[in-house]
């Protein structure tokens, strides 16, 4: 994760705890431009985001590596909301993952502009800076 995205992720996590009811999952992206290429959300991330919304869900074994104590061994998630969060220079948006991927399929563009992201987002352009 890039340094700016890591900082934003920490701030966003605090905001999400106050504003979004669990359970849900997030994929966080950051861009220095007024658009984000749809390809920034990789195929394996897309698979996880979509599978987490379904009854069968997904399972992830947390790696044993690392010095810090891990909270648990396995996470299984399903039947929940999933979101793509994009931090643009002017603010951030939280988009339902299904809507994000539908936009990718239907758009004539290869990227999601900040203006269009605001139109399809659930939470619009709140600054955490």
pLDDT in tens, the chain (129 residues): 467 788 899 999 999 999 999 999 999 999 999 999 999 999 999 999 999 999 999 999 988 877 778 789 999 999 999 999 999 999 999 999 999 999 999 999 999 999 999 999 987 656 665
Report how far apart the first and last C-alpha atoms of the chain are (Å, whole number). Answer: 19
**Ranges of each domain in the chain:** 3-56+77-126
Q: Where are the beta strands (DSSP E) in 1-129?
A: 24-30, 35-37, 58-61, 74-77, 81-88, 91-96, 111-113, 123-126
Q: Residue 9: is it exposed, middle or buried by C-beta count within 10 angstroms (0-12/13-18/19+)?
A: middle
* H or E segment to which residue 90 belongs: none
Cα–chain center distance at 29: 7
Cα–Cα distance for residue pair 45/9, rounded to 1 Å = 16
CATH fold of 3-56+77-126, please?
Trna Endonuclease; Chain: A, domain 1 (3.40.1350)
**What is the pTM assigned to this prediction?**
0.90
């Amino acid at each position: 994760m890039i340094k700016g995205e890591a900082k934003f992720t920490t701030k966003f996590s605090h905001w999400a705890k106050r504003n979004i009811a669990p359970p849900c999952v997030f994929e966080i992206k950051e861009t220095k431009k007024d658009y984000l290429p749809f390809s920034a959300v990789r195929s394996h991330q897309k698979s996880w985001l979509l599978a987490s919304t379904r009854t069968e869900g997904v399972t992830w074994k947390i790696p044993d590596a690392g010095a810090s104590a891990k909270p648990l061994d396995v996470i299984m998630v399903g039947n929940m909301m999933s979101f793509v969060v994009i931090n643009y220079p002017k603010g951030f948006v939280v988009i339902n993952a299904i809507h994000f991927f539908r936009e990718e399929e239907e758009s004539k563009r290869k990227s999601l502009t900040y203006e269009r992201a605001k139109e399809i987002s659930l939470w619009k352009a709140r600054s955490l800076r």
